[in-house]
Amino acid sequence: METKGFRFEVITSGQRFLQIDSRMLRDFINSFIAENAFIMADKKFSLDQEKKFQMAKAKEIDSKSRLFVLCWKGKVLAGNAEARKGSFKESHNASFGLVVGKRYRGMGIGEKLLSMAMAQARKRLKAKCLWIDYIEGNGPARKLYGKMGFREVARMKGYVRHGGRYIDRIIMKYAE
């Protein structure tokens, strides 16, 4: 896993999250939508939508129900992992999201981001069970998550509409 030249930052303060340029965050997520990547969002975000998202997530960070791990190449956002704590009777769980910019894939960034997010979820969110999901057809995600110790526990048939087709959403649990 070669991640030299990249800087990884754990975001555990809403104030710090709000300091990140909203335009950059919007452009980052919109790049995945433009490439029709295997993410749940399917429409580009406006700057206003991104600012509202950023405000809401900052509050969740401060309430210790969410955290982010960001990967920077200089001042460019190269990747992002997030951990979300479950609520109420699911509060012992954390689920993850992971995206790595197209030009930075295959460099070990996703593995490092997810590893750091998992450690922080246990420490900061007090998670006992770790979950991640991916959309059918996303071979790199399946391979990485399996390598990291996640195992498939459920398959939601036809749950996601992607590229005009209904495909499966696969749920994985970390097997300790």
CATH number for 91: 3.40.630.30
- Domains held by the chain: number: 1
pLDDT of residue 2: 59
- Answer whether residue 95 is part of any domain: yes
pLDDT bracket for residue 4 (50, 70, 90): confident
Q: pTM of this prediction?
A: 0.94
Helices (H) and strands (E) in the chain, counts: 5, 7
pLDDT of residue 87: 96
In the chain, % of residues over pLDDT 70: 99
Per residue in 92-110, pLDDT (tens digit) is 999 999 999 999 999 999 9
- For 38, the domain range is 7-128
Per residue in 130-156, pLDDT (tens digit) is 999 999 999 999 999 999 999 999 999
Extract the tokens encoding 7. 């800087």
The residue written with tokens 């048939």 in the block is 157
- Answer whether residue 162 is part of any domain: no
- Answer whether residue 13 is part of any domain: yes
- Answer whether residue 139 is part of any domain: no
- Answer whether residue 39 is part of any domain: yes
Per residue in 31-69, pLDDT (tens digit) is 999 999 999 999 999 999 999 999 999 999 999 999 999
In the chain the first and final C-alpha atoms are separated, in Å, by 22
pLDDT of residue 139: 96
Mean pLDDT of 110-125: 98
- Answer whether residue 142 is part of any domain: no
Query: What is the spatial distance between Cα 73 and Cα 34, in angstroms, rounded to a whole number?
Result: 21
pLDDT of residue 105: 96
Report long-range pairs for 14-22 (Cβ below 8 Å, ≥24 apart).
Answer: 14/57, 14/58, 14/59, 14/60, 14/61, 14/62, 15/58, 17/54, 17/57, 17/58, 17/61, 17/68, 18/54, 18/55, 18/58, 20/54, 20/70, 22/47, 22/50, 22/51, 22/54
pLDDT of residue 3: 74
Residues 49, 98 contacting (CB under 8 angstroms) = no
